[in-house]
Amino acid sequence: MRPARFRRVFARPAWPTWAAFGLGLGLALGQAPWSLWPLALCALAGLIWLVARGDTPGRSARIAWAGGAGHFALALSWIVEPFLVDIRHDGWMAPFALILMAAGLALFWGAAGAFAGWAGRGPRGRALAFVLALSAAELARGYVLTGFPWALPGHVWIGAPQMQLAALTGQYGLTLVTLLIAALPVLLPVGPGRSLGAGLAVAAVAGLGLWGWAREAAPVPAEPDPPQVRLIQPNAAQHLKWRRDMIPVFWERQLAYTAEPGDPPPDLIVWPETAVPFWLENAGDGLGQIARAAGGVPVAAGIQRSDGPLAYNSLAVIGAGGRLLGLYDKHHLVPFGEYIPGASLLGRFGIRGLAANDVYGYAPGPGPRLLDFGARLGQALPLICYEAVFPQDLRGTARPRWILQVTNDAWFGTRTGPYQHLALARLRAVETGLPFLRAANTGVSAVIDGRGRVLASLPLGRAGQITAPLPPALAETPYARTGDAPVLILLCLGLAFFVATRAMK
């Protein structure tokens, strides 16, 4: 590179953009499986400082967008994995998927930066405006275009005591608090002998940690005879799952784990998403085989079904004799995975949903519903795959006794995606105070209590079963009662203040 061109690349305003991209990478390291939240918090503080230095809306937007692009490029790097299952057919799309996903989601951050540059007076004003606008942008990201609230800044606390705050605020309030803590060194005087902001940030992190630790450690009343649930993990790699010679292998494996004796015996057996290799209406004696292996114990199994021209990704509850006891159809589908927007047009070019069996993909079910598993187990809220990412999907019914997720995380690879999906399940448990059980095809299958603690699990990439007691439901949390409304109102008031202040200039 010529010296003059080198100087142009790293001269202002180019260097803050590149620095912001690097800080975004550091922020991503706070997500599972790395969970380096101290590094992530420092990186976030640096990004807020850079955005606050932007003296025009355009510069602040560019810096914020670059930070978001770096963050999503690393945190969502697993997005290439589905395209590598059939690499000859879909592999060419993998780099475009990552680039478009990172760049597209970063637009939310860029919009927040533009607002900060427009509304804020001076660096401190821009920093606070960016905190509020980015929190609002992340909340919008959970709803716009069916939503994708994955890798929020507040998710860096999952697994740490500070995540207990989500019981009060939910994941969007947790993100707002995280951004405010990271912004304190910019909002309050910092310099030689003046470290008030940084000191308060450390104190806030420590205080939240102590409060969260105390909440985790509080005793939970034990049930004298808790119901037992068995989770089946066949470990069917996605490129082998539907191969003719491997279908019997995985089928027999699941039947064998189902039939294993237990002391105490299970009250319910759960197979993961799309675990059954036939469609419900073409089951033949398949449901009977499941029932005989279970010895009369109900089995909840992921299965595909059709109703006329419509196909559904479903969860069926199978009782003695192969009788169908309950049915749930997934309603929050994955765009470009389970269905294709504009399928009639894109289907002509051979573009189809990666996880669907038809160009038009699956049809959405009618919405959230509870499944009744009897007196011992009570009612459960079923979730299929990434429905567990959306806290709003857990609020459409009466309060259940527990939450049940079946998923096929083989689509997410083996490096980061499955661990992030598990982390979000833990956060849903904290937000609701409900035990969360997840049966995952390749892992991680887990029993999670109402404070987000993993009590039993099967590691990624291992076939097996776990039989564990169903943890008790805790008292309904403040967030479960109010949802995102308080955080939304607070953000609207804060943003309105900046707009009004800007109008009075």
Which residues are catalytic, by number? 273, 330, 385
Classify 433 in phi/psi space as left (phi over 0), alpha (psi -120 to 50) or beta: left
Q: 41: part of which helix (H) or strand (E)? A: helix 37-53
Among residues 285, 292, 290, which one has the least CA distance to residue 271?
290
Please give the C-alpha separations between residue 250 and each of 15, 89, 179, 220, 274, in angstroms, as whole numbers.
53, 25, 46, 38, 12
Structure tokens at 206: 């420590």
Structure tokens at 391: 């806290």
Alpha helices in 247-309 (DSSP H): 247-259, 286-294
DSSP result, 155-180: GGGTTSGGGGGHHHHHHHHHHHHHHH
Measure the CA–CA gap between 481 and 459, rounded to whole angstroms: 33
Among residues 260, 218, 253, which one has the least CA distance to residue 236?
253
Quote the Cα angle for 384-311-331, to 5°.
35
Among residues 303, 257, 314, which one has the least CA distance to residue 445?
257
Measure the CA–CA gap between 122 and 177, rounded to whole angstroms: 22
Q: 402: part of which helix (H) or strand (E)? A: strand 402-407
147 exposure class (CB count in 10 Å sphere: 0-12, 13-18, 19+): middle
For the chain, how many residues are written? 505
Beta carbons within 8 Å of 88's beta carbon, 6+ residues apart? none
CB 300 within 8 A of CB 307: no
Q: Say whether the peptide bond before residue 33 is cis (omega within 30 degrees of 0).
A: yes
Structure tokens at 258: 């189902």
Question: What's the DSSP call for residue 221?
Answer: P
214 exposure class (CB count in 10 Å sphere: 0-12, 13-18, 19+): exposed
The total of other beta-carbon atoms located within 10 Å of residue 162's CB is 26
Among residues 411, 370, 405, which one has the least CA distance to residue 384?
405
Structure tokens at 342: 């504009």
CB 405 within 8 A of CB 438: yes
